[in-house]
Amino acid sequence: MADERLRRRRRGRRRGRGGAGSEAAESSAPVDQAPPALRDWRWRTFPVFVAFAAGIVLMGLVAAGEFLGPVVFFAGVFGLAYGAAHVITRTLIARRRRR
């Protein structure tokens, strides 16, 4: 019974019936189609490294311990400094190439 109702709805949308949201329903992907496969994520990339360093810095600010907290915090600060130097250097090189 439910399958029959679903088929009727699909036929109605194809014919131009279906109410207020029929235009959006027609432009969307069919219900039977499988979702697209997820992309393979590369973890050892620059954006992931900078996000990890930023997380370490935030963790160091929130939960500073006696010995290990400041050491990890400064490691994160050095990671963010490396990331900032990388972005600034790439920006300067790109500007010089445009000239």
DSSP assignment string, 20-58: TTHHHHHHSPPTTSPPPPPPPP-SSSHHHHHHHHHHHHH
User: What is the DSSP-derived secondary structure letter of residue 31?
Assistant: T
More confident residue, 46 or 68: 46
> Which pLDDT score is estimated for 99?
80
- On whether the CB atoms of residues 10 and 32 are closer than 8 A, the answer is no
Distance between CA atoms of residues 12 and 30, nearest Å: 14
**pLDDT above 60: residue 15:** no
Look up tokens 């279906």; give the residue: 18
Asked if the model's pLDDT at residue 10 lies above 70, the reply is no
**16: pLDDT strictly greater than 60:** no
In this prediction the pTM is: 0.51
Query: Rg (Cα) of the chain, in Å, rounded?
Result: 26
CA 73-50-85 angle, 5° bins = 95
